[in-house]
Amino acid sequence: MSWHDEVLDTIASEFSDVTDVAQLTRIVLRLTLAGVLGFLLGFEREQAGKAAGVRTHMLVAIGSAMFVLIPQQTGIVPADMSRVIQGLVAGVGFLCAGTILKQGKDESHVQGLTTAAGLWMTAAIGMACGLGREATALLSALLALAVLALVPRLVALVERVAGPSRNGGDAQEVRPRVIASPDDDRSRRS
């Protein structure tokens, strides 16, 4: 056997993890569905003017699908898969924490919570795709889109009918009430 035949055999053996057309179809379907669902969620966020848009959501969904698909292909036992999922959830949580910004000292000036939750949800949808739970992933994505796109409209409608919430909602700053101390009264009298 010549060296170039040995190189070709080595390359062929490295790509032998996909053994048949059914397995290739399964891989393509799961990763493509994760990407499409990530695209839909990212598109909604991008249209809302958020920093984490289409590419971020697609990469989170496809990456999450890969993290559970590869161990599945290697024959991982369910107990070990639960550790993979735990690590993935923690890692994505760390990524999401980076999207949350607190401005100033006031707790009402926090931004990025919905973006973080959306990325976390996108990771869960990607995991569902990677595990072969396509119907669950699709239903979850539709529910997430409803929460992101329809719930704000529902809240606005309820506020028009019932009046705004006492604290003015998420968009307005909540200002603490200042209570004068007895010393303040004495200084005013002087």
- What is the per-residue pLDDT across 106-148, written as a single tens digit (0 to 9) for each? 766 778 888 899 999 999 999 999 999 999 999 999 999 999 9
* pTM confidence score: 0.77
**Would 97 be classed as within a structural domain?**
yes
Distant-in-sequence contacts of 148-152, Cβ < 8 A, 24+ apart = 148/41, 148/44, 148/45, 148/48, 148/114, 148/118, 149/44
**Would 188 be classed as within a structural domain?**
no
Average pLDDT (88-117) is: 82
Structural domain tally of the chain?
Answer: 1
At 140 the three-state DSSP class reads: helix
- The pLDDT value given to residue 19: 84
**Would 184 be classed as within a structural domain?**
no
The C-alpha atoms of residue 146 and residue 136 are separated, in whole angstroms, by 15
**Which residue range is the domain that position 77 belongs to?**
3-164
pLDDT band at 167 (very low <50, low <70, confident <90, very high): low
Give CA torsion, residues 9, 32, 80, 85, to 10 deg: 140
